[in-house]
Structure 1
Amino acid sequence: MDQAKALALLDHEREAALTMLAALTRDFAGVVDASVDSNADDEHDPEGSTIAFERSQLGALIEQAERRLAEIDAARARLDDGTYGRCETCGRPIADGRLEARPVARTCVGCA
């Protein structure tokens, strides 16, 4: 895969991850803000999930989005140093199809 195409794919992935992270962060802040003035006993509410569960779930999704950003940044660093598209395990080229489907791939299909 040529460098310009790889860069475009990684930039697209990064923008999508940043958008997701911003939305999740807003949702998390909304849940926290909504619970500040509430005197609801969400721990014993039989009507649904607890506020603590929602906070925990959103927190996990935020961590996942942050890890995704770190993977994308690592792939961009590999692109800059000329190792992008090479399997970190066996050193062979990673197929273009795999990189198109998963631009942050570190290994070829055989080693994955």
Structure 2
Amino acid sequence: MPADLSAGWQAALEEAWAAYGAGSYAIGACIVDARGQVLARGRNRLNEPRAAHGGVIGGHDLAHAEINALLNLPAPPPGLLRLDGPDHRGTLPAVRGRGQHERHPRAGVRRA
């Protein structure tokens, strides 16, 4: 690996190589702070056995490198998550057809 790569790029490439070695797509991701320090890293796990443990998910449509990197964050960096808008209760808007937003107590739950 080239020595002139930043720590973030090195971490992402190491994760991509690990994903390739595990039989998944060779994609890695990392989250760095303003100084370039690696806060979290993750790799693609789409083609791995279905699992959700230890800060990673595998074998699911959401098992992308960037999602696994976010799940590996020890704590959200300041300013990443904001709850200071007009509705800061932590509820999710349910999206209805034609761009209409409506609050639903089970937002995100699939219906048959």
TM-score, scaled relative to structure 2? 0.26
> Which structure's relative contact order is higher, taking Cα pairs within 8 Å and 6+ residues apart?
1
* Greater fraction of residues in strand: 2
TM-score, scaled relative to structure 1? 0.26
* Greater fraction of residues in helix: 1
